[in-house]
Chain A
Amino acid sequence: MVNKPSNFAMLEALQHGMRNDPHMTMLYEYQRPVAAGPLGNVIDLYKEFGDLRIPDWGPIDEEWHVGGAAGIAMTGVRAIARVPSMCVTRCFELVFNQVGKLRHMTGGQVNMPLVIWQDAAGRNPGMAGQHADAGQEALYASIPGIKVVVPSNPYDAKGLLAAALQENDPVIIFHYPAIDGNPTDVPDDNYVVPIGEAAIRQEGTDLTIVGYGPAAVEIKRALPGLEEAGISAEVIDPRTVKPMPIDPIIESVRKTNRLLVVDHGHETLGTAAEIIARVAIAVPGAKFARSTFPDAPPPGAREMIAWMTPDAPKIVEAAKHMVA
């Protein structure tokens, strides 16, 4: 096993899926499904599967990618729509009013084997405003009928995408490039990380720290600082935002009696709010805190966005504050 970039790892999952399903089709516009692995091996899905199942680039038309893929999926053919990071909510209406509702609205008649591979930007300096967003998975998680997963490392990215490709319900997988800052071994063979299953990254007794995606990357970076401060942190990565695997988090907080949720999304109505609400109902009297990106768009200047982003030093400080 070797470290692989998350994009390559996810294309491996897709390649496996497309080799085993002669009709599986992907619509996309921006990130051509070609990637080089660490050993120089190249995956080129366009070359392998041809111009129909994977068009050679697509038009700048996210509503087509999602709406067309939904139409494909309604005929029983598995479809993947890969949507670029600057258009995270462009298809929101289609997902909200169509993709998420059709099974229920039709009394269970419509299967929707649709995976939306949503590339996401993350809190990057220099991009400003529209190209440095995070946290929109919470918007999608608020929609009935949609499953939402957010891997925090390449291993989970491949396994969660492989799991999504087995579903008959729509799954949106948020892919943040920051997760490549959390390198993991990725097996060549296909495997599944089950949707709705959290990972306990570290056991501890003083407090529970929860975060997924880019926040989980920062939590991992904070581990040496926490250790240095003498804090025994239990670290949980939910990996799935919906259905939220809340039970292991509740169990953990019953033990630690403290919960810190780290979220690169915004403060108001973000995933952190949801996690805290669920745990607070189950564990009354525990201490709760969240560290989120403020309720402001992301500014371009490095000084500003770095100061606003919940990162490892801020996580250590928050943990110290909570156990004090």
Chain B
Amino acid sequence: MPEFNETGPEKKGVSRRSFLQFAGVAATATAVVSSARVAMAGNGWTIGLEGVPDERALWMYRTMLRSRWWEEEMKEAFLAGKDGLYGAFHISIGEEACSAGVMAALNEDDYIASNHRGHSHLIAKGGDLSKMSAELFFKDSGYNKGFGGSMHITDVSKGILGMNGIIGPQYLFAAGAAYSAKVRGTKQVAVAFGGDGSVNNGWYYSGLRNAALYKLPMIAVVENNGYQMSMPQQRTNSLINLHQFGAGLDIAHESVNGMDVMAVYAVAKRAVERARNESLPTLIEAKTYRYYDHSGLAGAKPGVMGAFGLPYRSDAEVRAWIAEDPIPKLRRQLVANSILTEEKADEIEAEVRKEVTESIEFARNSAAPDAQAGLQHVFAGSSVSPSQFIV
């Protein structure tokens, strides 16, 4: 794993069309970082496809691509400005392996509680791309009918208890959902996703501590992307390996390479089995990286994957992590194991890109919500008064 703030030769931004190829080559070339990973190999850091059904591996590949291209195309739309997109937009590109690896271990009726950087969680949990696109366009056909936007997308019918614009409640909600599963005796599992910043908040402690106390089938996945907004993680917490917090609660806890979907899947599978069979919580820390800024599009350019020139991190660091990109890594594994041919892999990517483009077209062509609709949905089946007018 590259160290944060690593300095190195500056390279030009990566062309969007060639990022997979670039990352593939670079990953081979930067095998030097593997010394740290070798030391952690016993902890599931580097893992092959052994024991993973082909279909599941292919699902992970397609899922990561769907998330990657959906966010990339949405970024392009924001930058192009033609659609007049506005509002919050927290890109999770770079972190897709955390979502796909965890979700590959879950059942359809399991719960997830997500955060502001949750597009990839939702897509991996079965979120509908068209409804997601439409929500970013604030259209009536969006998941939240234009009430929520990017940060609040929810699909209760798929166990997605929602993204959330506030840091921390997902740990309470997932613990509560796990409590509910226990009361109903359903064997469902609930997963909370948060960033390294979210562990600094009391609700994190409360959610995990009660999951430990009541032996809840809950999993907390901390996506440690190195920065709490623009503050390096090591300056916000005395722990560098955030999973160690689990030791104090006497719950299962482990760290995993969040840039390796198979490694994440292996760890998640153990955690899900622990939750489902023993009704016990697990804290997973996935070391990962976001290629873009915390929020918005500072340093982002059309046709280039990643945000460069940001004041709080070096471009060399960004490139080093892009070199670890989980998508080409899995593609190489799939091809090497004859699960995919290069041609088939290209075909899958073309299908995904078509799906993404269509979802954005759907959003573009959808109707805006009625201006008066904001009075609805405060309570079930009733509206509040339009008190802004004098009658």
Contacts and interface: CB of A to CB of B under 8 A. Distances in A.
B330 interface: no
A104 B176 contact: no
B365 to A, nearest CB: 19
Interface string B143-166: 111111000101110000110101
A106 B144 contact: yes
Contacts, number: 142
Interface string B288-318: 0000000000000000000000000000000
Contact of A71 (B156, B174, B214, B378): B174
Contact of B182 (A52, A74, A76, A111): A52
A94 interface: yes
Given A25-B179, A107-B377, A63 B155 contact: no
B102 interface: no
Give chain B's interface residue range (CB within 8 Å of chain A): 35 or more
Contacts of A295: none
Contacts of B175: 64, 68, 71
A116 B335 CA distance: 55
Contact of B378 (A97, A104, A110): A104
A59 B144 CA distance: 35
A244 to B, nearest CB: 11
Contacts of A147: 379
B111 interface: yes
B281 interface: no
A107 B142 contact: yes
B183 A25 contact: yes
A107 B111 CA distance: 19
B57 to A, nearest CB: 31
B86 to A, nearest CB: 17
A98 B152 CA distance: 11
A108 B176 contact: no
B210 A61 contact: yes
Contacts of B152: 105-106
A23 B179 CA distance: 11
A32 interface: no
Contacts of B169: 67, 70, 94, 97-98
Interface of B: 111, 113, 142-148, 152, 154-156, 161-162, 164, 166, 169, 172-184, 190, 202-203, 206-207, 209-210, 213-214, 376-380, 384
Given A106-B143, A107-B377, 11 more contacts: A61-B206, A61-B210, A63-B172, A63-B202, A68-B176, A68-B210, A70-B173, A71-B176, A98-B173, A108-B147, A110-B161
7 contacts: A64-B209, A71-B172, A71-B175, A74-B161, A76-B180, A93-B166, A105-B147
